[in-house]
Chains A and B, each alone.
Chain A
Amino acid sequence: MSRQDTIKDLTARLRRIERRAAPAAEREQSIGTGHAALDSVLPAGGLRRGTLLEWINGEGPGSGAATLALLAAGGLMRQQESGPAGTLAVVDRAGGFYTAAAAGLGLSPERILLVQAGTEDEWKWAVEQVLRSSAIDVALTWADSLDDRVFRRWQLAAELGGGVGMLVRSAEVVREASWASVRLMVRGCVGEESATGRRWSVRVLTGGVGRGAWRAGYQERDVLLELSDETGGLRLLPRLERAVPPGVSATG
């Protein structure tokens, strides 16, 4: 059997195993993000506690993956079963996380714990600590390069803590192994001239290996999302609306 045939055979076997898994059960355990459009993109129909998600910027950092991650986090934080809203921990190594923008996206600054780590070791340790803590509902960090063992430790910490870990990453990591249960490739799309919102093309990538991961059995597809600058609502766009306008448009 050639190498290609072996890969095909293994892929087919993996698909059979994946199909045996019960997607309905996965969906039952998931928590909605508060944005139906985003839930429809996520394989489990929402976020699952105790897992990691990768939000990968298709282009540069301005692609907006972190914005979508925060929209999802906001929904999860508002859907606490009891007591006050949940808590978001932002572990920021680069500095400059701007809470005013997060507040604009609907997150309450009072529910944000901002952790600034100076060195790489401190950052890895801090992320593990917040993932391990049951007091944190969502942990957000930026992780362009990540050692496989550290990634695995984070995934186990998330399972232990029961929160959701969101990693914002650059496109270079796509070919790397991942311990995230869901990997989302986010590309900014040029919006229509008349529109005031922001558009993204989002694709769920296969290849995650964490708990509840969607691997070879899942069909990769692009979905178009638009966030309205006026209402803050996120909506799913039909593929036809993807036209890119020529030239420059402006709003005063």
Chain B
Amino acid sequence: MPLAEARAVLLGPVGVPTEAGEGLEVVEADEESDLRVLAEEGRRGWRFTPLVSLTPTARSGQPPDQDPRSRPESLLANITGCGHLFGDERGLATAMHQEWSGRGFAVRVAVAGSPGTAWAIAHAAHWTGQPWVPLLASAGRDELWMRRLPIEALALQPRVVRALRELDVVKVEDLLGLPLSEIKRRFGEQTLWRIDRALGRWQEPLECLPMPDPVVACRTFDDPISRADWLQQALRELVLEVACGLQRRGRVAWRLVCRVRSEASKVEPEWVEWVTGLVEPSRQADHLWELVSLQSERRRWPAQVVELQVSAEGVVVPERPQQTLFESGTEYETAAHDGRLRRGMARLVERLSSRLGERSVSRPVLSEAVVPESAVVLVPVGREASQESGLGAGPGLELGFGPLTRPLRLLEGPRAIEVMAVVPEGPPIRFAWEGRDRRVVRYWGPERIETGWWADSGVARDYYRVETDAGEWYWLFRRRGDARWFVHGVFE
């Protein structure tokens, strides 16, 4: 809608806001400025994939009012082969969503087999009823997704959309049911091309944002080195060089990658790669070196090293600290306190992950699984620690049990035990555990836990909480198939 028209509708003829325009702030659209911001945001996307492109404005050769794809509001990223760095493609999409929504953008993320389909799904996300969650079209199902979307998702010319709607063509599948020759005759070749673009039938090239100079430092040795202390010293120098390189460029990095080339193998030189990830991007030499050296404590240097290389990856412009007008008062102090906590948590997670490995530092998430051992999923904390002053937040799953119903220690696998019961299907009276005979004085149960017939590994158990004469509590179950007893947990 042109600005003049919007003013007339919302501000009224004499500039007094109408009911619809109350509290309205009118800002003139500035597409050049939008494009600059979009390019800056696109560079942030390098932490997810090196192939990030702005909406190809020039591709259709049409102004934004004629081709919705030309509006400076979308980033297209080729994430082929990057999903595993975030667990999977859903993890990557979620991380992308958090990156931009955490910074105040209203963001929609969609993953599909082609840029056109991804754009279409993201722009028609409101149709799914969950517009603000990442949407993924699994492999080979792009067209299935597209068929259910409204025709606006095809980014057709507005006049074409209007004409189609008059003909009661509402969804993409309605349009695809029409003969192609008829579409071409009535709406032109451009419309056919846009349909192909949205359905991924046209191989759309992405014009990716150019990467800045790589920040790399390397050392080649004339004679192979096997001494760990020498290699450690060389590694330190390289990390400091990379930190200086980041400093000079005014950039910070999300991770350092250390590559070691060894000639220990007689066949061909072998490259070993270590990645040190950060929770908050940094260029502080001491901090980077501390993390790299912590990680190297759990790595073994290969023998006969002939080359060392350290490179900074995920290089981005540092976030400016938020400025406040009044640097005092409760709000400011709270924000500063939260900022300190967030940095403290980020540093702690970085140190722990570097030394113990990323998978050793996790946040437990409760799932709806029936089987106790699957009811908690451990998610590596990684970058999500920086989202809040502590860890993640948000409402948890509704618990279906009381404070004393589940044991604090769940054994990694249920351990078979000998149990004495008065009746075959009855509760336990005595059981032996860790070499001691234990008499049951109180018990609660049975609590039946079983999976449906459709589950891959079926579970059918009758659980009992038991109290022994020594005041200890254990979680036992009888397997319904063969009536064998197991200890599954200890109420520590």
Contacts and interface: CB of A to CB of B under 8 A. Distances in A.
Contacts of A110: 363, 391-394, 396
Given A82-B334, A190-B442, A113 B471 contact: no
Interface string B301-315: 000000000000000
Interface stretch (A2-10, A65-73, A146-154, A177-185): A65-73
Q: Identify the interface centre among B393, B411, B446, B467: most chain A CB within 10 Å of its CB.
A: B467
B360 interface: yes
A66 B349 CA distance: 24
A57 B491 CA distance: 12
Contact of B389 (A60, A67, A84, A228): A84
A85 B392 CA distance: 11
Dominant secondary structure of chain B at its interface with chain A: mixed
Contacts of B134: none
Contacts of A115: 352, 356, 360-361
A84 B349 CA distance: 18
Nearest to A188: B471
Interface in B367-400: 372, 375-376, 378, 381, 388-394, 396, 399
B404 A60 contact: no
Contacts of A70: 408
A188 B472 contact: yes
A94 B434 CA distance: 16
Nearest to B443: A250
Interface residues of B, number: 71
A87 interface: yes
Nearest to B436: A60
Nearest to B472: A62
A60 B438 CA distance: 11
A129 interface: yes
A190 B345 contact: no
8 contacts: A61-B409, A103-B399, A109-B363, A114-B362, A133-B344, A135-B342, A196-B444, A198-B473
Interface of A: 57-67, 70, 82-87, 94-106, 108-118, 122, 125-126, 129-130, 133-136, 168, 187-191, 193, 196-200, 227-230, 232, 244-245, 247-252
Given A62-B468, A114-B363, A229-B403, 7 more contacts: A62-B491, A67-B404, A84-B388, A110-B393, A122-B356, A135-B342, A193-B442
